[in-house]
């Protein structure tokens, strides 16, 4: 399954992506706001093998974000499916990303969650220190619905994403 935008595309992760994913997650700049990861490529491959079973069962989906020329530049995951909502996270974009990779990958994830999976909203959490990502989600129309010591919890409705897409269409089409 591939999802395409103007400057990026997303494809499902494969075992061969283990080194790339591990390098992203272990990088102090990119992995700063993610859960800790074992620094073993073999364990990352093993995790991907287990994940692929979840993918086949429709439990979660893990994507590699690539530029249109095939250069990998990030990851994003869709998981925690509820009655009318999906969660997304593990969103990392590295220095090889395109100018609008963040906007394009977010809209691709929302297209996947709303159109392919059929959900009406999305929920996710962002660490409070991650101010750039919080600002991004708020500009997209996400609303804070809760918080704890470390995280803000958001939801965003399908209609809010559609409205944001209209406003940003000149950048992504």
| Structural tokens at position 131 | 């101010």
Would the pTM count as exceeding 0.85?
yes
Looking at residue 104, which CATH number applies to its domain? 3.40.630.30
Name beta bridge partners: 8.
67
Model pLDDT for residues 19-56, shown as the tens digit of each residue: 999 888 887 766 565 666 667 889 989 999 999 999 99
CA 41 to CA 47: how far, in whole Å? 10
Condensed to tens digits (0 to 9), the pLDDT of residues 56-71 reads: 999 999 999 999 999 9
| HEC profile of 26-74 | HCCCCCCCCCCCCCCHHHHHHHHHHHHHHHHHCCCEEEEEEECCCCEEE
| Structural domain total, the chain | 1
Instruction: Print the domain residue range for 125.
Output: 2-172
Confidence of residue 3 (pLDDT cuts 50, 70, 90): very high
pLDDT tens-digit readout, 131-150:
999 999 999 999 999 999 99
Say what the pLDDT of residue 70 is: 96
């Amino acid at each position: 399954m591939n999802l395409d935008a103007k400057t990026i595309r997303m494809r499902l992760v494969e075992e061969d992506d283990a080194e790339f994913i591990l390098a992203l997650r272990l990088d102090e700049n990119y992995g700063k706001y993610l859960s800790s990861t074992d620094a073993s490529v073999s364990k990352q491959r093993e995790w991907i093998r287990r994940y692929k079973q979840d993918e086949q069962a429709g439990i979660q989906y893990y994507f590699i974000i690539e530029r249109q020329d095939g250069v990998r530049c990030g990851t994003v995951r869709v998981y925690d499916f509820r009655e009318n909502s999906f969660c997304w996270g593990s969103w990392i974009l590295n220095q090889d990303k395109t100018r609008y990779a963040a906007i394009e990958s977010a809209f691709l994830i929302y297209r996947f969650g709303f159109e392919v999976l059929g959900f009406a909203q999305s929920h996710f959490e962002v660490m409070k220190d991650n101010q750039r990502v919080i600002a991004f989600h708020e500009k997209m129309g996400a609303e804070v619905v809760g918080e704890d010591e470390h995280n803000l919890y958001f939801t965003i409705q399908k209609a809010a994403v559609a409205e944001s897409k209209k406003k940003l269409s000149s950048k992504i089409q």
